[in-house]
């Protein structure tokens, strides 16, 4: 590991989608490690409650930014915070995400554009903003929450996560020697609010495929600290993604949807 990249306790971490699911777990574990946290999410009330919990439990200073990251003004607010040289951000976690339950042809194109903007454009823009100061300081860590779906041909969610995976791999190669480690985290099914908000029937996946958020985040932070470009939490998903790379696409794409 590059000696410049070991973020010390007391440094600042900014987490998007920080009030629920993996984002909330990243905030908890980073606060537990002694980092100050900047929490970004849409709901100001949940942000305040999460910040108070972290401050009370871990004694960690918690700043909040209420922002919709599918909106240009919301993105600009977070970019401005990342670009503030007086308050450097040493760790960026691009976690905010949404899912689309229906097929591509059934979704409104505005929904698809919002989905793509959040997963690709927003993550790219925040990474670009964070890198400016990190490269000057020759120190920084960036975690992009992708998915095992990035390895599978399954609609626009998979396509967006595949972009994030490829981007993170390239960025880690490009910037590791300059002190910045970039990791794409690719969890499988994880017990969070994500699937509930989609309205997904969680029984479609067998129990053995479900992971706990604490495990996913713990492995992600450890892999990022080691300078790994890709983190696939759990042995079972490491095996599944390895197998998916050699099987024909028609076998890993899932069953075809019935025509209406």
Residues with a known catalytic role? 157
The half-sphere exposure of 57 on its side-chain side, counting CA atoms within 13 A, is 14
DSSP string, 85-149: TTS---EEEE-------S-GGGS-HHHHHHHHIIIIIIHHHHHHHHHHHHHHHT-EEEEEE--GG
Residue 40 pairs in a beta bridge with: 16, 65
In angstroms, the CA 213 to CA 33 distance is 17
Residue 168 φ then ψ, to 5°: -65, -40
Q: Is 16 helix (H, G, I), strand (E, B) or coil?
A: strand
Residue 14 φ then ψ, to 5°: -110, 125
In angstroms, the CA 208 to CA 178 distance is 40
In angstroms, the CA 258 to CA 72 distance is 37
Q: Is 112 helix (H, G, I), strand (E, B) or coil?
A: helix
* Tokens describing residue 178: 């300059």
Sign of CA dihedral 17, 217, 158, 78: positive
In angstroms, the CA 76 to CA 87 distance is 16
């Amino acid at each position: 590991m590059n000696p410049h990249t070991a973020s010390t306790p007391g440094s600042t971490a900014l987490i998007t989608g920080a009030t629920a699911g993996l984002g909330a777990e990243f905030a908890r574990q980073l606060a537990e490690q002694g980092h100050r946290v900047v929490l970004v999410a849409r709901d100001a009330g949940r942000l305040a409650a999460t910040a108070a919990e972290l401050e009370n439990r871990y004694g960690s200073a918690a700043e909040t930014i209420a922002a919709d990251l599918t909106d240009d003004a919301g993105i600009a607010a977070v970019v401005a915070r990342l670009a503030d040289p007086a308050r450097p951000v040493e760790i960026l976690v691009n976690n905010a995400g949404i899912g689309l339950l229906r097929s591509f042809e059934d979704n409104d194109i505005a929904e698809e554009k919002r989905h793509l903007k959040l997963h690709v454009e927003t993550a790219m823009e925040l990474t670009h903003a964070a890198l400016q100061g990190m490269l000057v300081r020759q120190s920084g860590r960036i975690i992009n929450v992708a998915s095992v779906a990035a390895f599978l041909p399954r609609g626009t969610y998979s396509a967006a996560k595949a972009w994030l995976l490829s981007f993170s791999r390239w960025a880690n190669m490009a910037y590791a020697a300059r002190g910045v480690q970039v990791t794409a985290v690719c969890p499988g099914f994880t017990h969070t609010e994500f699937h509930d908000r989609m309205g997904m029937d969680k029984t479609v996946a067998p129990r053995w495929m479900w992971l706990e958020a604490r495990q996913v985040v713990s492995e992600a932070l450890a892999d990022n600290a080691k300078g790994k470009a890709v983190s696939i939490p759990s042995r079972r998903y490491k095996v599944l993604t390895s197998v998916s790379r050699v099987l024909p696409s028609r076998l890993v794409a899932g069953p075809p949807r019935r025509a209406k």
